[in-house]
Structure 1
């Protein structure tokens, strides 16, 4: 989802996205696979609860290029396993 924050992050050279509302079944590999269609993914990370080992429902993607970041943020919405994702520039 493109936003004023996306433009600011892009201008600073940041290519990291926060991905919220992830289905608890999505793995880091699946998250990377989905976002790799927008550009080369340098790293992906789903955050897990240390106690339960279950996904906390969010993660991060880092693109190796600004093009990948721009392609992902310019898409109006993202869905994974039927769920609408919350895609925003990650806080630095």
Structure 2
């Protein structure tokens, strides 16, 4: 199950994000999205859990809860929709 995690602390790393979700089951991957120009966190990320049950449990437990002083927004990730490239 792929999970979107929003409103992350800007100090959050891939490893610390994985640790938050590991309490609920095996984490396949955890990625904090970084701004490619500044190298800083964009404040959101994605976690992939091995089982849907563990993912659902993590969403239920973590959505709306505080983590490093920020209220997390956690839900099932939706597939990225195709959008046209911007022309400059």
TM-score range, shorter chain: 0.7 to 0.9
Which portions of structure 1, spanning 4 or more consecutive aligned residues, are displaced by more than 4 angstroms?
A: none
- Alpha-carbon deviations, 1:11-64, whole Å to 9, x = none? xxxx11100000100001000000110111000100000110000000000000
Looking at structure 2, the residues matched to 52 and 17 of structure 1 have their Cα atoms a distance apart, in angstroms, of 25
Q: Which runs of 5+ in 1 are unaligned?
A: 1-14
Does the alignment pair 1:81 with 2:68?
yes
Aligned length: 78
Larger Rg: 2
Q: Would you tell me which structure has more helix in proportion to its own residues? A: 1
Question: Which one has more relative contact order, counting CA pairs under 8 Å at least 6 apart?
Answer: 1
Q: Which runs of 5+ in 2 are unaligned?
A: 80-88
Mark the CA change 1:38 to 1:78 in structure 2 (over 3 Å): closer, same or farther: farther
Looking at structure 1, the residues matched to 3 and 51 of structure 2 have their Cα atoms a distance apart, in angstroms, of 13
TM-score (norm 1): 0.79
User: Which of 8, 12, 16 is the equivalent residue of 1:30?
Assistant: 16
